[in-house]
């Protein structure tokens, strides 16, 4: 008969007991209440480590825009600095200095005209969402201050966006009680943003218009240059000063290297602020984002708080307080490690893989890409013609192999169009892309076969 260990035997664990034969793993991990007793670090590590095996493999996560592979040296720097709190600028002056350098580098990349005496205007954040909120708030304050000075009503601010905005903007509108004026996506416009439709929605209460460089839904680079020209005309005519904010969460770290001549940034008159994610195509592990303003006059002084309880005068403009410094340090590592040529090579390689995937998918005759002109390493594609299965079923089948390829509907007004999306990131090479293709085509074959097998007839199923 099998011997069942007694409680005393389990308690009497020895230092050199095997991990899976010792006390720590002789019961389930506590889940909803804190245990009273301690556990050996080795056992606690093993329990948590083992449970995390059930998570997906991040390298097969083609849904996310966020970096899933970083160089070992960046990893080392990050693990050496996770204990540095970004907010303690007096305690960690070099981390603060590195943040400043990053702001200056990005600002320069986006063509802000700063003079030598004044540093570029911007800050690091936990991601683009926080950066978008900070830039949105600055727009609201500037609009409010101007209206107040003119003795006008400030109760009904609005902002103009296309319907394929990322959810962070919808949050911004709800959290800050700002009306969201939407330019709907449309099939007639080939799902592309029409700047004149955005300008038509503007009025005296508009705090800003949003342009997106690399939309979440399709990867479109919206025509920000045209938007700027139309806003110039509109602002001249009305006497308003409605700024453009560019959500460059993804494209902000691609366009400057791949299409340096593309004008979407501070080179344009009405582009006053930009958000970009360091943890997307800035190639840093999550979470870091950046908020940038064209110049300091655009960041209202009332939004900057000064604290002295960490030693020295600490100006802070952020939604949260404490945040690890390691991502900012890794961002600087990337800047000096890669330089613009390194970034160009990484992104070009990802674009090449995206185009390879696009060609292979279109060759099958089964799929079509939503926006054929790929400018970001992102492939948004749907089924061509009528099929007995859906993109959701394909996405599901791909999961059997560990691939995470999301299926979703397009934005407001185009919700009847369902697509799949693949974001090609550093580390997703031709080899992995070919395997994905193989699995995708196998999934289609399997689904076709499954449709041929008749399902049990409804009449034989008794519903009670």
Binding site for ligand PLP (CB under 6 A): 65, 127-129, 166, 168, 212, 215-216, 247, 249-250, 277, 289
CB of 253 to ligand PLP, least distance (A): 11
The smaller minimum CB distance to ligand PLP, of residues 22 and 287, is found at: 287
Burial class (CB in 10 A: 0-12, 13-18, 19+), 201: middle
CB of 104 to ligand PLP, least distance (A): 21
**Shortest Å, Cβ 207 to ligand PLP:** 18
- Could you tell me if 87 and 322 are in contact, meaning their C-beta atoms sit under 8 angstroms apart? yes
Closer CB to ligand PLP, residue 353 or residue 378?
Answer: 378
In degrees, rounded to 5, the angle at the alpha carbon of residue 146 between the alpha carbons of residues 142 and 152 is: 130
Tell me the closest approach of the beta carbon of residue 425 to ligand PLP, in angstroms. 12
Nearest CA among 362, 378, 345 for reference residue 213: 378
Compare residues 230 and 274 and give the one whose CB is closer to ligand PLP.
274
Q: Measured between alpha carbons, how far is residue 49 from residues 16, 20, 29, 41, 106 in Å?
A: 20, 13, 12, 12, 37
| DSSP strand pairing (206-212 vs 367-369) | unpaired
Tokens 């004149």 identify what position?
196
User: How near is the Cβ of 217 to ligand PLP at its closest, in Å?
Assistant: 9
Shortest Cβ 168–ligand PLP spacing (Å): 5
For ligand PLP, the nearest residue by Cβ is 127
Decide whether 24 or 251 has the Cβ nearer to ligand PLP: 251
- Ramachandran angles phi, psi of 90, nearest 5°: -75, -35
| Nearer to ligand PLP (CB atom), residue 22 or residue 195 | 195
Handedness of CA 293, 295, 300, 301 (dihedral sign): positive
Minimum distance of ligand PLP from residue 284's CB (angstroms) = 11
Count of C-beta atoms within a 10 Å radius of residue 53:
7
Q: Which is nearer to ligand PLP, 95 or 216 (CB)?
A: 216
CB within 8 A of 355, min separation 6: which ones?
374
The candidate with the shortest Cα–Cα distance to 274, out of 444, 121, 424, 158, is 121
> Which residues lie across from 346 on neighbouring strands?
none
- How far apart CA 139 and CA 121 sit, in angstroms, is 15
Cα separation, 67 vs 75, whole angstroms: 12
Closest approach of Cβ 247 to ligand PLP, in Å?
Answer: 5
- Cβ proximity to ligand PLP: between 81 and 215 the closer is 215
Environment class of residue 103 by beta-carbon count within 10 Å: exposed (0-12), middle (13-18) or buried (19+)?
A: buried
Residue closer to ligand PLP by CB (options 133, 361) is 133
Q: Which residue's CB is nearer to ligand PLP, number 397 or number 421?
A: 421
- Least distance CB 286 / ligand PLP (angstroms): 8
Cβ-contact 276, 120 below 8 angstroms: no
């Amino acid at each position: 008969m099998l011997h069942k260990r007694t409680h005393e035997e389990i308690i009497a664990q020895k230092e050199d007991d095997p991990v899976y034969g010792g006390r720590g793993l002789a019961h389930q991990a506590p889940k909803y209440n804190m245990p009273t007793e301690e556990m050996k670090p080795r056992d606690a590590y093993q329990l948590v480590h083992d449970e995390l095996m059930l998570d997906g493999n991040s390298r097969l996560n083609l849904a996310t825009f966020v970096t899933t592979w970083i160089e070992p040296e960046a990893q080392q720097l990050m693990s050496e600095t996770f204990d540095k709190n970004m907010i303690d600028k007096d305690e960690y002056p070099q981390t603060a200095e590195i943040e400043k350098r990053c702001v200056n580098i990005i600002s320069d990349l986006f063509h802000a005209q700063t003079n030598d005496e004044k540093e570029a205007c911007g800050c690091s954040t936990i991601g683009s969402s926080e950066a978008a909120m900070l830039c949105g708030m600055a727009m609201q304050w500037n609009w409010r201050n101007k209206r107040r000075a003119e003795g006008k009503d400030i109760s009904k601010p609005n902002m103009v966006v296309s319907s394929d905005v990322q959810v962070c903007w919808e949050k911004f509108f709800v959290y800050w009680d700002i009306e969201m004026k939407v330019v709907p996506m449309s099939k007639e416009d080939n799902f592309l943003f029409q700047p004149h439709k955005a300008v038509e929605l503007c009025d005296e209460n508009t705090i800003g218009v949003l342009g997106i460089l690399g939309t979440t839904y399709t990867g479109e680079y919206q025509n920000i240059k045209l938007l700027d020209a139309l806003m110039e005309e509109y602002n001249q005519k009305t006497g308003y000063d409605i700024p453009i904010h560019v959500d460059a969460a993804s494209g902000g770290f691609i366009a400057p290297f791949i299409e340096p001549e593309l004008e979407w940034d501070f080179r344009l008159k009405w582009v006053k602020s930009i958000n970009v994610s360091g943890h997307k195509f800035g190639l840093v592990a999550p979470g870091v984002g950046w908020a940038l303003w064209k110049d300091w006059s655009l960041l209202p002084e009332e939004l900057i708080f000064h604290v002295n309880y960490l030693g020295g005068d600490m100006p802070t403009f952020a939604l949260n307080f404490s945040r690890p410094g390691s991502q900012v340090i890794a961002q600087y590592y990337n800047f000096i490690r890669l330089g613009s040529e390194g970034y160009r090579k990484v992104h070009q390689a990802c674009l090449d893989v995206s185009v390879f995937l696009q060609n292979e998918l279109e060759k099958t005759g089964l799929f079509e890409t939503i926006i054929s002109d790929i400018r970001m390493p992102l492939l948004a594609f749907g089924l061509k013609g009528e099929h007995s299965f859906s993109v959701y079923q394909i996405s599901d089948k791909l999961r059997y192999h560990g691939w995470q390829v999301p299926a979703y509907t397009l934005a407001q007004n185009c919700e009847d169009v369902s697509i799949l999306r693949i974001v090609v990131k550093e580390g997703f090479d031709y080899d992995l892309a070919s395997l994905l293709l193989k699995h995708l085509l196998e999934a289609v074959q399997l689904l076709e076969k499954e449709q041929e097998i008749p399902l049990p007839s409804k009449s034989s199923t008794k519903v009670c």
